[in-house]
Amino acid sequence: MALSRGLRCCQRVFSWIPVLIITAVVLWSYYAYVFELCLFTITNTLEKVAYLLMFHICFVMFFWTYWKSIFTPPATPCKKFQLSYSDKQRYDLEERPDAQKQILVEISKKLPISTRAQSGAIRFCDRCQVLKPDRCHHCSVCETCVLKMDHHCPWVNNCVGFSNYKFFLLFLSYSMLYCVFIAASVFQYFFKFWGDLPNGPAKFHVLFLMFVALMFFISLMFLFGYHCWLVAKNRSTLEAFSAPVFISGADRNGFNVGIRKNLEQVFGENRRLWLIPVFTSQGNGHHFPLKNHSSASQNPLLPNEDMWDESDDGSEEGSLGEFTSVFVMY
């Protein structure tokens, strides 16, 4: 028991290493750009002020979105999806798998659940003892179920899901903007240091700054492009690899309700807040509109959705719990 706790403690400590690496690189880039380039190299005062102003805007937005991606708690299933004491006893005492499945079917009729396991059974997490809402998955790293789980990202040491997916997308976009601005403004001095200007500390920092900015931009460009495609299709990373299963069968486009509505699910209806890292995503993460409403109406569980919404007074407050998700290294 003590060994297990020690291993978990070490795992938690080591999980912060990627975050520390990113933080160290960004802080070094701040020093190299602000001090070595702007203060010690650039002589034109107007150019210096303009570069410093634009750089700090990019820097603040980058760190704001990075902070929100790391420290926003994950959304977890509310209490209505947990087994009651009597249902849990009945489920545990029942030894027949078919009977256990039937118990879960009876309980799920009170909830807005439209997806199924690959076997066609109600999706149930034995470790968390909850019926999984649509698009919810269990993270083996964080050891909990996460609403609309996308993946577990080691670079933010957090799960990317319903509660912080918008922040993660903004983090990628502002990271790209940060890299583009650095590369564009350093470009002329990169060639000057490469040929004309004498050797010195600034030369190393400016040359290396250019290479690092371009390297990160290229890698982020592909990742950001992939997630833009996912948002346009209304899929998570997990759903892109394994299509969600409905009553009628597996359908990768089951939650695709059109590009505009797909964007609004992530960023909200107020477009003035789309680029600001504040939570504006639609819904509470427990159920989502389906592509084909006619097929959805054939699902005997969905007619209870309105009843569930009306009685769910505290679902949004209870949905923000601890973070988790599947481990995906970029």
Q: Which residues are catalytic?
A: 153
Q: Which residue has the tokens 């706790």?
A: 5
Largest CA distance in the chain: 81
Q: What are phi and psi of 82, to 5 degrees?
A: -85, 150
Angle (nearest 5°) at CA 209 between 42 and 32: 55
DSSP-assigned beta bridge partners for residue 144 = 139
Nearest CA to 277 out of 162, 170, 174 is that of 170
Beta-strand (E) ranges in the chain?
Answer: 124-125, 130-131, 137-139, 144-146, 151-153, 158-160, 245-246, 249-250
Amino acid letter, 180: V
Helix or strand or coil: residue 29? helix
Nearest CA to 79 out of 318, 299, 269 is that of 318
Residue 123 neighbours by CB under 8 Å, 6+ apart? 113, 115, 116, 117, 131, 132, 136
Q: Is the dihedral of CA 120, 123, 125, 129 positive or negative?
A: negative
